[in-house]
Structure 1
Amino acid sequence: MSRFWLASALAPVAAILLAPASSAQAESDGSERHFSAQDLFHLSVAADPQISPDGSRIAYVRRSNDIMADRARSAIWLIDTRTGEEVPLAGGPDANAFAPRWSPDGTRLAYVSTASGGAQLWVKWLKGGEAVRLTGLPESPGSITWSPDGSMIAYTMLVPREGPKLGSAPSGKPEGATWAEPLEIYDLVTYRADGAGYLKPGFEKIFIVPATGGAPRQLTFGDYHDGGPLSFSKDGRRLYFSANRKPDWQLDPVESEVHALDIASGAITALTSRDGPDTSPQVSPDGKLVAFLGFDDAGRAYENDDLYIMAPDGSGVRNLTESWDYSPAGVVWDADGKGLYAQYDISGETRVARIGLDGTIRDVLEGVTGGGFDRPYTGGSFSVAANDAVAFTGGAPTFPADVRLASAGKVKTLTDLNASLRATKTMGEVRKITTKSSHDGLAIEGWLTLPPGYQAGTRVPLILEIHGGPFAAYGPHFASDNQLYAAAGYAVLSANPRGSTSYGEDFANRIDKAYPGNDYDDLISIVDEAIAQGIADPEALFVTGGSGGGVLTSWIVGKTNRFKAAVTQKPVINWTTQVLTADSAAYFGRYWLGMQPWENPEFYWQQSPLSLVGQVETPTLVVVGAEDYRTPVSESEQYYTALRLRGVPTALVKVPGASHGGIAARPSQSAAKAAAILAWFEKYKGGWTRGQ
């Protein structure tokens, strides 16, 4: 599938534009029963559930918001699958713990913890033993993988290298003098990344360390990234990994091959060779097959992954999902080696399927959910025990995900992480809505989050909330933004226009080299359906969205004045500046637009929302993270300035310290951002007249 997403200063804006209700008012209208900004600090979500080989226990990551630090904290907890008893294992107020991985015999648990300062690899002996720190690494380890005999643990880590040098500062610095910092020099195509900032010189490499402690050993070298996930051969002598080790790797961001690494000699053999990504190798229990994901690179913006198997030497490659129009992920082998489990998205929902070596595919469970707090994206994760019991994250769309267990044909929920909120808060109901696009009759789906206590036949103001990606999907999943909007009296429409995933490859590629395009018709059609159902007030329509949703928000207000107000969040406004300043420069021009800006500047302009700014009349707020490198801050600033020059009501809201993917990472900023959006909508509920 597509590998790249377009995916406090706010408080004063909200305070100026929308004063909070008094406590007396809250008591009289029952709003204390509704989800509020303060409740963001009390949310918890389950992630990365790892079931033990014998199915008796589940280790999972519990993420909770710390009101004192204004950040999410992660801890690892253990659940007894028979009794449901939970005990904490690692992490807490002063340290994060994550990435739990069971030893093959189920007696130990490896994980990453910041308990000793930086993120390090730890192992906990579960039969009365201690937790032992195995490493003292300069960077965080990733892709933790046990050897089959449990004696070694492999992982990946960034290995710094010396950056390029050009000249030097003058010599003779006087003692006690304060000179400027040295020059920063970059020579890679991707020299900064969203969430990481300007990148340290270095490359991801593979290491191995004894599971009882000792000196780690670096296994791979060279000026390219060697990535996870990793998988050992059955005899533990080889490691399989994915990487693009070709000379032009910087200019081919999709390409990668599956490689076999001989641990003793360090010899590396590429096992695949096609033009396209081959990733996520997984060795079968008997060691006779290697499964991997990939696709043929056709230069399109989106491709489904397929699931392949091959012999350990790379021969006999066979596609198991050639006729299946979905994209498998998180693939793990069944204990009997006759099939694999994979997670996939269908119509905005997430399921787990078993894919047999004979090509049969059947659903094992549905209702997988999880991921971020703020938007209702598909997601979640699962793991499988030797007895085919499946641990997964799931739950209703009104609260974040819990840990669930599917076993012997039954599903039970093992945690209730938000019990206190569940007992005291009335959340907005989430229901499905479908229509046909006015453009070509294409079926379009979405989900409506209704105000708490909504009465049928009542018309309420509607917020069209558009997802990013654009190759992603909304579904019946928890979203704090939607619940906050609903608590304020709005219905929220989370739609999946053409280009969304989970509806097949053709549906996603209807925007290939044509984005934004006919998404406009899809979105307007589903808004009209919400009006036709008697829910949305046609005189109180509002629109917002982030990333790809910001692109479409800006496009919509350039096409129509139907919406009373708009908020475009972290948008792309000008494709030329986006392609040349974003953190994935080698990807966007080649795959999304099919050419570079200098090759067809007219096409770039036609696809840019900035080309429509002369037609915008809708009051439009612009929101962006101050450290956004995916859709850089300059995109939002261009649009804000253009709107100001045209006299269209606008304001620019920057979230301090926030990246593109982390714009809602800190609870106070997430709450303030939602409050600012609601304040903007409230301000223009009655409309405006130029010259006001």
Structure 2
Amino acid sequence: MSLQPADIHDLTSVSSPSLSADGSVIYVQTVTNAERSGGESKLMIHNDGESRPFSSGPKDSSPCHSPDGALVGFLRPGADDEKKQVWVISTAGGEARQVSCLKGGVQGFAWAPGADRLVVVSRVDPDMVETEDGQPQTQVVQRIRYRGDGEGWRGNAFSQLFVLDLASDEPLQLTDGEGDHLAPVWSPEGDRIAYVTDEVEGRDFSRHSDIRVIPAAGGESIRWSEGMSRVGSVAWSHDGNHLVAAGSHDPDVWDPRQSWLFVLTHGLSARAVAGMTRTIVQPIAQDCWTQNDDLIYIADHAGESYLCSVHADGGEEEIILGGERTLTALCVQQDDAVAVAGSPGRPGDIFQVDLQDGSGHFNTEVNAHVLNDRPPVMVEKVTFDRNDLEIQARLLFPDGFDASKQYPLILEIHGGPNGRFSDSYDVTQQILSGRGYLVLAVNPRGSSSYGPDFLKAVLRDWGGEDFLDLMAAVDLVCERPYVDTDRLGVHGYSYGGFMRSWIIGHDHRFKAAVIGAPCINLHSMYGTSDIGVSFGENQWGGSSIENVAALLERSPLTYAAEVKTPALLLHGEQDYRCPIEQSEQFFVALKRQNKDVEFVRFPESAHGFQQAAHPKLRQEYYQRMVDWFAKYLS
């Protein structure tokens, strides 16, 4: 039997590997706690062929070796509150000690070359007022980006950079501008710090970002990213004269999953690295620029990850490690690298690679106990041409598949118009296949990892050609004799929820729809989503004032009268990305017409609650999904 909803509590995840010069790896291992949202995480160390605990947890994250390899820094909630602070521990073992005590907590950090200082990212709120417990306080909104999904109220708070000397108790604040200052990296000499910032003109209305460099002792910052529109991460050249950044120079390429490498030199326009044929996986590793001036990076193409290298001056892209997997969280240490690697048959594990010959091996098998009892299902890649574009899908077969029988088919659509299904272990798809369904996971135009033109093809056309791509994929697979065309279902989340709501208002062959956190009224979402203005204007082509007719024309709510498919709406009550008012509107519109609809609200759950919410709620999402399909597709 394949994966079931209750089995999600048995899955273990690994993340944030840090590789030392002696070859040992420290990483985060997270397991489910039935009583705690987000699970319990602790640091693990892998050396001499085995892994063992390195910290006690239960909320440790983001480990990073000091440059001399003597210490490991990591994040842990502070002794006095739940905000994360930096802690350090000797690689020889012993007790960890807290080295930061910033009121806004710490979001990230990086070691200085001498291992005597840290640059840390901390939220600073100039309007914070201490109040007595139980006393109400008003919240004054002065900017559009005043709250964020998963973080709540922001107001006028921004992420700022601080330098923390381990021998001193007083941090030095480097930045104080009206924008977030993130992903800092030290220059090789330790005298400058490069970072990513959205402190730009019109910040409320766009997602533009820059790279700036500031003296580590404090002073004025200098922009280095001339000619770029968006930047996600940055690293220094080994001589400190250049930077390499992952991002885009195209303002229409909003999504960080469609990025390229650029070499930055102060006073010059950013230069795209020639020879690259695949899109960059963010963030890039801090030590990705080698002594030979090669750049080491993870790249995606058609949902597959590759470990690649290319010379900083351009040239032929070399594949160090080939596809049929996903790779994330790259860490480079001289001739070796480590990443998290997964595949359709295996959730992520720590994977170590020799950069000289491309050989690699898994350091962990954290889910072997689950996979032995719940073997993954078979996956087939399906491609077809439509309107001069090649569209790719993945078809998952139910456990015990027999081609002489017929099976119901569920169309699965990814979240985010620029998301994509990849060669990874997908819990939703495994659960559906485990219940006896064929699952068709399609990457329509707009999906990332197929090139910038493919990605931009969805702009200003939600519900247009992307919808037709999906229907063409269903048509193609339904020609197979083992597909029961009278038992078709559709499931999706976020943009996938939009598309599922759109589909059932335009195509009546689907007998059941499960709709997670949809956007069904683009006009109202523009003003209620935490990214409604910047994302909406990029994707939909204008503001809610200028674009009323077009927004309503492409809103599934407009076609609610045409819906005939029984619909289940699932939504987190603290979702600020696709606010719950979207499902509320759709539910009322359908219920008022006496259509078959049910609406489930998940308390204390943001947009990504399938990963971070209470374990009971995550299981209930999947259980309600499979129960709805069983009711209408059996």
Report the identity percentage.
27
Inter-partner Cα distance in structure 2 for 1:64 and 1:36: 17
Stretch deviating more after TM superposition (586-595 or 652-661): 586-595
Task: State the AA in 1 paired with 2:328.
Answer: G
Shift of 1:297: 4.2
* Misfit runs of 4+, over 4 Å: 299-303
Q: Of the two, which has the highest radius of gyration?
A: 1
Residue in structure 1 matched with residue 67 of structure 2 by the alignment: 104
Alignment partner of 1:484: what SS? Answer: helix
1:105-153 CA deviation, whole Å, 9 max, x = no partner? 2121111112634321011111355422112232331331111121111
Alignment partner of 2:477: what SS? Answer: helix
Residue of 255, 271, 292 corresponding to 1:318: 271
Aligned residues: 625
CA contact (8 A) 2:321 2:358 kept: no
Q: Say whether 1:329 aligns with 2:286.
A: no
Alignment partner of 1:136: what SS? Answer: coil
Residue in structure 1 matched with residue 623 of structure 2 by the alignment: 675
Residue of 406, 409, 415 corresponding to 1:468: 415
1:612-642 CA deviation, whole Å, 9 max, x = no partner? 2121111111111111111111111111111
Q: Say whether 1:160 aligns with 2:160.
A: no
Q: Say whether 1:661 aligns with 2:608.
A: yes
Shift of 1:662: 2.0
Task: State the AA in 2 paired with 1:346.
Answer: H
Task: State the AA in 2 paired with 1:622.
Answer: L
Indicate the RMSD between aligned Cα atoms, in angstroms.
2.5
Inter-partner Cα distance in structure 2 for 1:363 and 1:212: 44
Inter-partner Cα distance in structure 2 for 1:231 and 1:179: 41
Residue of 178, 183, 202 corresponding to 2:138: 183
Q: Say whether 1:342 aligns with 2:297.
A: yes
Shift of 1:663: 3.9
Task: State the AA in 1 paired with 2:623.
Answer: A
Inter-partner Cα distance in structure 2 for 1:240 and 1:664: 31
Unaligned runs of at least 5 residues, structure 2: none
Shift of 1:341: 1.6
Task: State the AA in 2 paired with 1:309.
Answer: V
Residue of 72, 83, 86 corresponding to 1:121: 86
CA contact (8 A) 2:488 2:511 kept: yes
Q: Say whether 1:45 aligns with 2:45.
A: no
1:495-517 CA deviation, whole Å, 9 max, x = no partner? 10111111111111111111121
Residue of 17, 25, 28 corresponding to 1:58: 25
Q: Say whether 1:235 aligns with 2:189.
A: yes
Inter-partner Cα distance in structure 2 for 1:630 and 1:593: 16
Shift of 1:539: 1.1
Shift of 1:280: 2.2
Inter-partner Cα distance in structure 2 for 1:295 and 1:639: 36
Inter-partner Cα distance in structure 1 for 2:155 and 2:482: 52
CA contact (8 A) 1:260 1:268 kept: yes
Q: Say whether 1:431 aligns with 2:380.
A: yes
Inter-partner Cα distance in structure 1 for 2:78 and 2:254: 41
Residue of 496, 517, 527 corresponding to 2:464: 517
Inter-partner Cα distance in structure 2 for 1:322 and 1:560: 43
Residue in structure 2 matched with residue 143 of structure 1 by the alignment: 108
Unaligned runs of at least 5 residues, structure 1: 1-32, 165-175, 370-377, 687-692
Alpha-carbon spacing, 1:588–1:512, altered in 2? closer, same or farther (3 Å): same
Alignment partner of 1:684: what SS? Answer: helix
Stretch deviating more after TM superposition (153-162 or 665-674): 665-674
Inter-partner Cα distance in structure 2 for 1:626 and 1:243: 30
Inter-partner Cα distance in structure 2 for 1:565 and 1:320: 47
Task: State the AA in 2 paired with 1:419.
Answer: A
Alignment partner of 1:511: what SS? Answer: coil
Shift of 1:458: 2.6
Residue in structure 1 matched with residue 243 of structure 2 by the alignment: 290
Alpha-carbon spacing, 1:402–1:160, altered in 2? closer, same or farther (3 Å): same
Q: Say whether 1:88 aligns with 2:53.
A: yes
Residue of 517, 533, 550 corresponding to 2:480: 533
Alpha-carbon spacing, 1:179–1:343, altered in 2? closer, same or farther (3 Å): closer
Inter-partner Cα distance in structure 2 for 1:483 and 1:212: 51
Alpha-carbon spacing, 1:192–1:70, altered in 2? closer, same or farther (3 Å): closer
Shift of 1:609: 1.0
Write the mapping of 1:349-364 to structure 2, written as runs, cut at 5 A.
349-360=304-315, 361-364=317-320
CA contact (8 A) 1:280 1:293 kept: yes
Alignment partner of 2:577: what SS? Answer: coil
Inter-partner Cα distance in structure 1 for 2:275 and 2:267: 19
Residue in structure 2 matched with residue 14 of structure 1 by the alignment: none
Alignment partner of 1:636: what SS? Answer: helix
Alignment partner of 2:472: what SS? Answer: helix
CA contact (8 A) 1:91 1:113 kept: no
Inter-partner Cα distance in structure 1 for 2:537 and 2:228: 15
Shift of 1:588: 2.8
Alignment partner of 1:464: what SS? Answer: strand
Shift of 1:664: 4.4
Write the mapping of 1:193-232 to structure 2, written as runs, cut at 5 A.
193-211=148-166, 214-227=169-182, 229-232=183-186
Shift of 1:284: 1.3
Higher-RCO chain (CA-CA 8 Å, sequence separation at least 6): 1
Alignment partner of 1:493: what SS? Answer: strand
TM superposition score normalised by structure 2: 0.93
Shift of 1:336: 1.3
TM superposition score normalised by structure 1: 0.85
Residue of 393, 397, 403 corresponding to 1:456: 403
Q: Say whether 1:572 aligns with 2:519.
A: yes
Shift of 1:42: 1.1
Shift of 1:163: 6.1
Inter-partner Cα distance in structure 2 for 1:293 and 1:589: 23
